[in-house]
C-alpha cells in the first residue's frame, strides 16, 4: 500500500510542540534585555567622560595687571614676629663673636618647654643670628624658630647658673608664644633638658615698646638677653599679633631660688 501525498511530502512544516513555547518566549525576552543593557553600558562609557568635561567648573580667570589708576587691595599673609636685636657691632675692632658667650662649643640641651597656665607644650630648638642694617646701623638680629621655641645660641642651659633665653613667634609659623602676654607672676614653666625636668617660677612680666622708639631704648630692651650672674629663664615674643610694636619679656627663676636682686627697691 502506497503512502498518500500528505504523508510523504507535505509542503507545510511541522508545528512546534506547544509545551516549548513558554521557554522560547522567556529566552527571547532575556536576550533582548541583555542586549539593551549592553547597549546602555557601551553608550554610558562614551558619555560619562564627556559629561565630566562639560560639567567641570571653569577655572578662575587669570589675574591681569591692573590698569593705571585702579587700586587693588591684597590681603597680606600673617607677618612673622620681628626678631630681637643685639647691640651694634663695632667693626673697627678685631673680629670677635657678637654672641653673649665665651663658650665656642656651646650646644642646646633644652628639648621641650611647658607652660600649663597658657597651654604651651612645644619643642625647643637652637637658633642663631644674622646681620641686618637697621636705621643705618649694622645689627645682629636673632633668628626665630618656626613651629617651635628657639633657644638662643650661647645662652645658658638649665643648671648652668646664667641666663636661659628662649624666644618664639606670637603670630604665624605656629604662634607658639601667642598667649605669652597672659602669663602672671607665680605661674610655672617647665623645661625638659638632658633627660631631666627643671621647674621655674615666673617673677616678672614686662611689656616694652619696640617700634617707634629711639635705638637706645631698643638696645636697653636687648639687655634682658645678656648673660646673668644667677640662673634666670627669659622668654621673649612680640605683641600684639599682626602689629608687633611691643616686646613681651617674661622673667622666671628656678623653683625655690632667691628672688632676683632689685636695686631699685634697696634702701640707700
Question: pLDDT tens across 57-114, in order?
Answer: 454 444 444 444 434 344 344 444 444 544 433 334 333 334 444 455 788 899 999 9
Residue 210 and residue 240 in contact, taking contact as beta carbons nearer than 8 Å: no
Q: State residue 128 phi and psi, 5-degree precision.
A: -105, -145
* pLDDT at 19 (0 to 100): 62
Rounded Cα distance, 200 and 190, in Å: 6
Rounded Cα distance, 155 and 225, in Å: 8
* pLDDT at 264 (0 to 100): 59
Buried b (16+ CB within 10 A) or exposed e, 70-101: eeeeeeeeeeebebbbbbeeeeeeeeeeebbe
* pLDDT at 29 (0 to 100): 82
CB atoms within 10 A of CB 257: 14
> Which segments of the chain have a pLDDT < 70?
1-20, 42-104, 134-135, 257-268
* pLDDT at 12 (0 to 100): 54
* pLDDT at 258 (0 to 100): 67
Within 56-99, where are the H helices? none
Could you tell me the pTM of the whole model? 0.59
Amino acid at each position: 500500500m502506497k503512502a498518500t501525498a500528505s504523508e510523504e511530502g507535505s509542503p507545510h512544516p511541522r508545528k512546534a510542540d506547544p509545551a516549548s513555547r513558554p521557554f522560547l518566549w522567556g529566552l527571547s525576552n532575556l536576550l533582548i534585555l541583555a542586549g539593551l543593557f549592553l547597549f546602555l553600558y557601551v553608550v554610558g562609557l562614551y558619555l560619562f567622560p564627556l559629561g565630566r568635561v562639560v560639567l567641570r567648573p571653569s577655572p578662575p580667570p587669570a589675574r591681569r595687571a591692573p590698569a593705571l589708576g585702579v587700586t587693588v587691595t591684597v590681603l597680606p599673609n600673617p607677618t612673622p614676629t620681628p626678631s630681637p636685636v643685639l647691640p651694634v657691632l663695632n667693626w673697627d675692632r678685631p673680629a670677635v663673636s657678637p654672641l653673649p658667650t665665651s663658650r665656642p662649643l656651646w650646644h642646646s640641651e633644652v628639648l621641650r618647654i611647658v607652660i600649663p597656665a597658657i597651654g604651651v607644650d612645644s619643642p625647643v630648638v637652637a637658633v642663631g643670628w644674622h646681620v641686618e642694617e637697621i636705621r643705618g646701623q649694622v645689627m645682629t638680629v636673632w633668628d626665630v624658630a618656626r613651629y617651635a621655641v628657639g633657644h638662643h645660641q650661647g645662652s645658658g642651659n638649665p643648671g648652668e647658673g646664667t641666663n636661659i633665653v628662649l624666644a618664639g613667634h606670637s603670630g604665624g609659623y605656629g604662634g607658639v608664644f601667642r598667649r605669652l602676654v597672659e602669663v602672671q607672676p607665680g605661674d610655672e614653666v617647665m623645661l625638659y633638658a638632658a633627660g631631666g625636668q627643671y621647674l621655674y617660677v615666673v617673677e616678672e612680666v614686662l611689656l616694652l615698646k619696640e617700634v617707634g622708639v629711639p635705638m637706645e631704648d631698643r638696645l636697653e630692651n636687648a639687655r634682658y638677653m645678656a648673660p646673668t650672674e644667677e640662673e634666670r629663664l627669659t622668654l621673649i615674643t612680640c605683641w600684639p599679633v599682626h602689629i608687633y610694636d611691643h616686646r613681651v619679656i617674661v622673667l622666671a627663676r628656678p623653683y625655690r631660688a632667691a628672688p632676683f636682686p632689685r636695686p631699685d627697691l634697696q634702701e640707700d
